[in-house]
Amino acid sequence: MFPAVVRPLLPLLLSFLVLLPGCRQREPIVIGFIGPLTGHHSDIGVYGRNGVVFAAEEINKIGGIHGRPIQLIIQDDKQDAALTRAIHKKMIDQGVAAIIGPMTSSMAMAVVSQSNSAGIVTISPTAATNKLTGLDDYFFRTMSPSRNAILRLAEYSHDTLSLRRISVVWDSANEAFSKEWLDIFQEYFSDEDDHIISVSFNPNAHPSFSSLATTIIDQKPDGVLLVASSLDAAQICQQLRKQGSQAKFISTMWAMTEDFLQHAGSAADGTTFSHWFNKDYGGENFRIFQISFQDRFHVPPNFASHFAYESAQVIFTALQQNEKPKQLKETIETLGEFQGTQGKIHFDQYGDPNRKVYLLTVVDGALSPVKE
């Protein structure tokens, strides 16, 4: 028998016990994130991680996906291919629904075959290598393949800036991305009076940027194309200006971050980039994202955080339609179009979007759209 003091509470207790199973939180959906969180390439990795974290926090605040919270596994790939493959495989073995990253082209190239074998989607926010274009695989990306952006900058450099002798300074540790800039500039600058000079360096070998700048100046270029991370590009700019170079600087989307502007200082002025990211985009979705991201991380979003946030949104939207990880590729392909923060994201049959290319230049320490 229940004590007399408990009997009046029995109906309430029984009701609570009946409702309890329905109140249990469903198993989380586990998503992996892989990116360089330390070392020379860490700026792109940290911003990318923050974009994914922000997206996960947003959806978890409204109950997750059909009551299932998003749980993130975040790993530092250290821009090391063997380590990246090991991390990627472990995440698959742990039962992730999808993997966001890697953030660089060389690391993406290292894991695509594992995604295909496992049937698990890998979506990279920023791996732009053309070597993964036109392949029917489990690799998606929210940043377009780089060819159109390279050609856009090559055309502007040749026809508007009137550059004819360009030193292409490229990071050999991310060759899958970097060397494509050299190759396509060589294709475009093919007239008799055009000269493209290759200067490669490996940031992992701790190069002397002062010596590298001397090598570049000896080539007497009228332009320098910087295909490097933001911190390395900033140091090269500084050393070139310190040694008296008046060459015009052009660069890739990889270096277009606040870190480049801060570390290059006045040497950054006049540097022109081609990119699919426009920090002055006027849409309401982007404005809300900008404000909310800055409130959360106390810095404005850059291209890496933006495309990482969109990559997470693509995964979450698809999983809301169908929670089965093995059918995620088919679900994304069937949906085809997703709402991004800077317009719609349209995937082609190979998982690549075709996004508008912007030209931006540094004026008084800030990025501004190029007026043509």
What backbone phi and psi angles, to 5 degrees, belong to 92?
-60, -45
CA triple 354-357-359, angle to 5 deg: 170
**pLDDT (tens digit per residue) in 134-184:** 999 999 999 999 999 999 999 999 999 999 999 999 999 999 999 999 999
- The answer to whether 45 touches 37, Cβ cutoff 8 Å, is yes
Instruction: Give, in order, the Cα–Cα distances in Å from 50 to each of 174, 200, 277.
Output: 22, 31, 17
Cis ω for the linkage preceding 102 (within 30 of 0): yes
Q: Which CATH number fits domain 29-144+281-346: 3.90.400.10, 3.30.70.260, 3.40.50.1110, 3.40.50.2300?
A: 3.40.50.2300
Interacting residues of 344 by C-beta distance below 8 A, sequence separation 6+: 337, 338
**pLDDT (tens digit per residue) in 45-103:** 999 999 999 999 999 999 999 999 999 999 999 999 999 999 999 999 999 999 999 99
What integer pLDDT is reported at residue 246 of this predicted model? 97
pLDDT at 243 over 80: yes
What integer pLDDT is reported at residue 372 of this predicted model? 67
What is the overall mean pLDDT for the chain?
Answer: 93
Instruction: Give, in order, the Cα–Cα distances in Å from 308 to each of 54, 62, 117, 241, 316.
Output: 10, 20, 24, 34, 12
Rg (CA), the chain: 24
Q: How far apart are alpha carbons 181 and 275 in whole angstroms?
A: 13
What average pLDDT score do residues 253-273 get?
95
Q: How far apart are alpha carbons 187 and 248 in whole angstroms?
A: 20
Q: How far apart are alpha carbons 152 and 371 in whole angstroms?
A: 14
Q: How far apart are alpha carbons 341 and 285 in whole angstroms?
A: 5
What integer pLDDT is reported at residue 36 of this predicted model? 97
**pLDDT (tens digit per residue) in 340-359:** 999 999 999 999 999 999 99
Same fold, 29-144+281-346 and 147-275: yes
pLDDT at 26 over 90: no
228: number of CA atoms within 13 Å, CB side? Answer: 27
Tokens of 332: 């994304």
What integer pLDDT is reported at residue 22 of this predicted model? 46
Q: How far apart are alpha carbons 288 and 202 in whole angstroms?
A: 39
Predicted TM-score of the model (pTM): 0.87
Which residue type is seen at 79? Q
Topology of the domain covering 147-275: Rossmann fold (3.40.50)
Q: How far apart are alpha carbons 215 and 212 in whole angstroms?
A: 5
pLDDT at 14 over 50: no
Domain boundaries, the chain: 29-144+281-346, 147-275
Q: How far apart are alpha carbons 363 and 78 in whole angstroms?
A: 33
What integer pLDDT is reported at residue 40 of this predicted model? 83
Q: For 161-202, what is the HEC assignment? A: CCCCEEEEEEEHHHHHHHHHHHHHHHHHCCCCCCEEEEEEEC
Given strand 70-76, what is the order of strands in its sheet? 70-76, 29-35, 98-100, 122-124, 139-141
Tokens of 149: 């952006």
Q: Tokens 């496992």: give the residue.
A: 118
